[in-house]
Structure 1
Amino acid sequence: MLRGVFDIYELIVAGIVWIFLFVPVLLVGRACHLSRAITIFVYLWHTLCSFLMISIVLNIGGDEIAYYEGAISGITFSGKYIDIGVGTMFIYWITHVVIDFFDFGFISTFMIFNFIGSVGVVIFGGVISDLQRSGYFYDRAWIWACVALPGLSIWTTSIGKDAFSILAIGLFLKGSMSPRSLPMLGLAVFLMFLVRPHIGIPMALSMAIMTSKGGRTAVSGVIGPAVVAVILLVMLPILTQRLGLVDLSNDSLTDYVSRQGGSVLNRDDGAFWYSQPLPVRWMMTAFYPTILSASGFMEFGVALENIVLMGFFGFLLWRTRFMTRFQREDLHLVLLMLGIWIMLGSLMYNSGLAARQKWMFMPIMLYLALKYSNSVNRREQAAISFKC
């Protein structure tokens, strides 16, 4: 059923799709003030990672095949008929729509998700470029370093939730840099809720914090939190139903964690993961595997990348006096980063999933680390200079 892998016609179609989608990627890069050279690099690098994922999936299998085959048959791997929904069902549905409308093969469908992920990385690169233009750091090499991180691209190239996740995070960061970006923030929360509702909720709360303290008029300061409150009232019942929670009580949450732990004890390193203390699992979520624990070429590459990420995180701790000196405008991002980090480390899973899902909070950490790289608090320094 995997059309478009060896058929020449389908490969040509995939190439046409890739070229056609190059134009909107360039337009997004221009709108985000990202140089054309970096934008082109992101799309080419992202595509290279996409074909690496295709090779891995075809050789050892993966959820991408289940999504594609289910989209063709109209039935998910669990036997349910595909319909519009959130989470996994949304990926089945959108893949089904793409295949049904365009009759795309496997690689062509990959290129659609590759495009979505590329746009997310380009927007993130534009956010980092805006920091450089604002004088938070001066070496343009940091922009290249951030967009070239393999973990940022390799997981967001394939058929699945990660492409939409990085797009949502990119839009949220971009929207956070402007006081008049409520529609962009709302779109980011909506996209995240479509693929990962449990992450959409802390994003909505973060949006409420930002709009309540950042609105320039009384109206915006009231409407923003009100809209978010309505969104949460709709999202919470759906989320509790999907997670199998009777309610949000302590007993219900404890039962959910126990079920999650029991379901993965026989999968990969699930038993090892759940044998660790909670603080250790939080750190493993972000920085595991290490060089010493890596086995195989892929894990070794992830371990090297984790060293870089640990350097960024350590630098952020140092420059902010161990998270005690943040600008008021960044409070919602700090809380969002920590909220997602703690949630993922507490309720899930194993190191394989950690390597993918940590990229829902790692871009925020990279953004904050670079923003505070030039000074602990540029506003405080400006105020001191003004008084002098």
Structure 2
Amino acid sequence: MTDLDSTPLQLVLALFIFIAGLVFAVSVRGYFRAPFSRSVSLYLWHSFFCVIYLAYVLNYGGDASGYFRMSLHPDIDFAFGTYGVRFVVSFLSQGMGLSFLGCSLVFQLFGFIGLLAFDGALREVTWDKSRNIRLLATLIVFLPSVSFWSSGLGKDALSFCAMGLSLWAALSLKRRWWLLVLAVLLMLLVRPHMAGMLGLGLAGSFVFQRGIPLPQRVVLGGIALAAAVFLVPLGLNYAGVGEDAGADDVMQYIEGRQGHNLKGGGAVDISSMSPPVQMFTYLFRPTLIEARNLFSLAAALDNTILLFLFIAGGWAILKKPLPPHLLAHNRMFLWIYSLCAWLILAMTTANLGIALRQKWMFAPMLIFLLISVVGRSRYPAESDTPAVDGGAR
């Protein structure tokens, strides 16, 4: 019996966690305006990929097994990033006696929350669209890569949860500001540099977002800017740049990162690429003609769907004004964060395997922004008010 196996008692605990997660999924569905069947199907779908991810790690290895094994060591110190994940896992493994399976099910619950929030956001902006648009939104939510990377034990589940909660909060920031604070803290735990980008995006949105009175713009923008000033140095320290780094230091860091992770089948030389090509490579490769195995083929199919959406959404943005009912969303925050994250990650990631999972820290926001402007409302006279359950009227 290895340290990744489960005792009979731990199997019972894992089953209890799974059932408790299902009850939780039903309990919170109302907050995200999800029908009962939708919430349950998403939970079961996500749990299924948690098992697949677990089997993959047990057979081929991965960060998840390393996190769990390190969590079994005594005297785990807390720090942001990798050590933050180890600290959380140590509470589950040592404090609660959970096995690798049980810990994985807890982390997949975080990923499920992000998925449910992402789904709720897409349903809110597609309920009045054509059946094909709504099917496209559903297809995106059920993409295997979304659930695979967000269902395992590690940073990705927590960061995806933070992204989903940030997206849902941005749809009604006045009422859900506390949710955004929670999302930033969760992102800070695992990826401080991304938390800094969330803070910068929020501060920038109060400067550029229309319709905000000047007093509120000054107060809220000042608070967000103060948070960003606190978060950005943490992110720079976490990345290894240093909180007092200048522009030259940052450029040296980026150039150094372009040479990292060049081993393995997913490696790609990005140092000679222009930023637009780097961004395309990061988000849309591998393409169908680059697929070499089943895994890369699945990723290429996902990327093809995303590329289609980006073309259709970009064309819609250029051709028609933003529908009035979308003005209530803090879209500026979503644009600033997602574009900054896309650019920086694309310039510092030289391995498509890493990009396949890390892009889901911002890609859902871009998907939301683009799919919200694709197609026409079937109910022009009622399009200012979304359906209560997020479904079609």
TM-score range, shorter chain: 0.7 to 0.9
In the alignment, structure 1 residue 310 sits paired with structure 2 residue 319: no
Distance 1:258 1:208 in 2: 28
Distance 2:2 2:217 in 1: 51
Which runs of structure 2 are paired with 1:131-280 in the superposition (5 Å)? 131-133=125-127, 135=128, 140-180=134-174, 181-212=176-207, 213=209, 220-246=216-242, 247-270=244-267, 272-280=269-277
Residue by residue, what CA displacement relative to the aligned partner does 1:258-305 show, whole Å, maximum 9, x if unpaired? 332333234554353445443322111111111221222111111111
Which runs of structure 2 are paired with 1:67-146 in the superposition (5 Å)? 67-74=67-74, 82-133=76-127, 135=128, 140-146=134-140
In the alignment, structure 1 residue 58 sits paired with structure 2 residue 58: yes
Letter in 2 for 1:343: I
Aligned to 2:349: 348
Please, which moves more after superposition, 252-261 or 83-92?
252-261
SS of 1:349's equivalent in the other structure is coil
- The answer for unaligned runs of 5 or more in structure 2 is 385-393
Identity of aligned residues (%): 25
Contact preservation (8 Å) 1:50, 1:110: yes
Quick one: structure 1 residues 267 and 301, their matched pair in 2 at CA, closer, same or farther if it must change by over 3 Å? closer
Letter in 2 for 1:97: F
Distance 1:15 1:73 in 2: 25
Distance 1:44 1:279 in 2: 38
Shift of 1:144: 2.5
Quick one: structure 1 residues 322 and 344, their matched pair in 2 at CA, closer, same or farther if it must change by over 3 Å? farther
Letter in 1 for 2:88: I
Shift of 1:214: 6.2
Shift of 1:146: 2.6
CA RMSD in angstroms, aligned pairs only: 2.8
Contact preservation (8 Å) 1:120, 1:171: yes
SS of 2:258's equivalent in the other structure is helix
Distance 2:39 2:72 in 1: 33
Quick one: structure 1 residues 368 and 2, their matched pair in 2 at CA, closer, same or farther if it must change by over 3 Å? farther
Shift of 1:201: 1.7
Distance 1:373 1:260 in 2: 36
Contact preservation (8 Å) 1:171, 1:184: yes
Aligned to 2:359: 358
Shift of 1:102: 0.8
With a CA cutoff of 8 Å and minimum separation of 6, indicate the structure with the bigger relative contact order: 2
Distance 1:210 1:257 in 2: 26
- The answer for unaligned runs of 5 or more in structure 1 is 75-80, 384-388
Aligned to 1:386: none
Shift of 1:222: 3.1
Letter in 1 for 2:89: T
Please, which moves more after superposition, 210-219 or 92-101?
210-219
Shift of 1:26: 1.5
Shift of 1:197: 1.5
Distance 1:31 1:47 in 2: 21
Distance 1:223 1:136 in 2: 37
Residue by residue, what CA displacement relative to the aligned partner does 1:200-240 show, whole Å, maximum 9, x if unpaired? 12211222233454676665433322222221222222222
Aligned to 2:389: none
Letter in 2 for 1:192: M
